Amino acid sequence: LLATMMIPGMMFMVPQFFMICKMGLFGTKWAMFLPHLASVFGVFMLKQFMDTIPDSLLEAAQIDGASEWQVFRVVIIPLSIPIILTLFLLTFLSNWSNFLWQLIVTDFENPLSITLPVGLALFRGQYVSELGLIMSASCFSIVPVAVLFLFAQRYFIEGMTQGAVKE
């Protein structure tokens, strides 16, 4: 698991591109984020988090008569919301700023498939750059990140206080 995290992500771009083309997703929004949904980093981070959940908490739920599914749904999922949101934010931010992958899978004939980082690069000309447009679009690119952080901030604080169980 850790060995695959040591391989640079650029090594996977060509095989992922061929897979996206074979699935017929080239130039679609699915091509932007589908290869990045299940990452080794996410699996590793979730595994490390699940190891910190005390067994006594799970055993207490089972003693109270909860089935395995109920323990998962009532105990583990609520405790995991902060880590899932953290993984979502990290994945979103890495894909939001991943210029190279977006450039590879963007269909330039369809203007609706051009993402903001690729669109910012289009403002640069060979001899002249539209600095005013680049700066205003850069400020606009911060808005989704700020909104996601403000939405998820409440869950981070709840997660820090929710798992306070002494062994």
Query: Is-contact 36 94, C-beta < 8 A?
Result: yes
pTM of the complete model: 0.72
Q: Looking at per-residue confidence, does 161 or 150 come out higher?
A: 150
Q: What is the pLDDT, as a whole number, of residue 70? A: 93
Q: What is the pLDDT of residues 74-107, one digit of tens each?
A: 999 988 888 888 888 888 888 887 888 888 888 7
Average pLDDT over residues 55-84: 90
**Section 12-26 average pLDDT:** 90
Is residue 164's pLDDT more than 60? no
How confident is the prediction for the chain on average, in pLDDT?
82
Rg of the chain over Cα atoms, rounded to whole angstroms, equals 21
Cα 111 to Cα 27, 100, 106, 108, 119: the distances in Å are 10, 18, 9, 6, 9
CA distances from residue 79 to 25, 72, 137, 162 in whole angstroms, order as listed: 35, 10, 38, 7
Domain boundaries in the chain? 21-162
How many other C-beta atoms are found inside a 10 Å radius of the C-beta of residue 102?
22
Confidence of residue 160 (pLDDT cuts 50, 70, 90): low
**69 or 105, which is more confident:** 69
Tell me what pLDDT residue 162 has: 59
Q: Which CATH superfamily is domain 21-162 in?
A: MetI-like (1.10.3720.10)
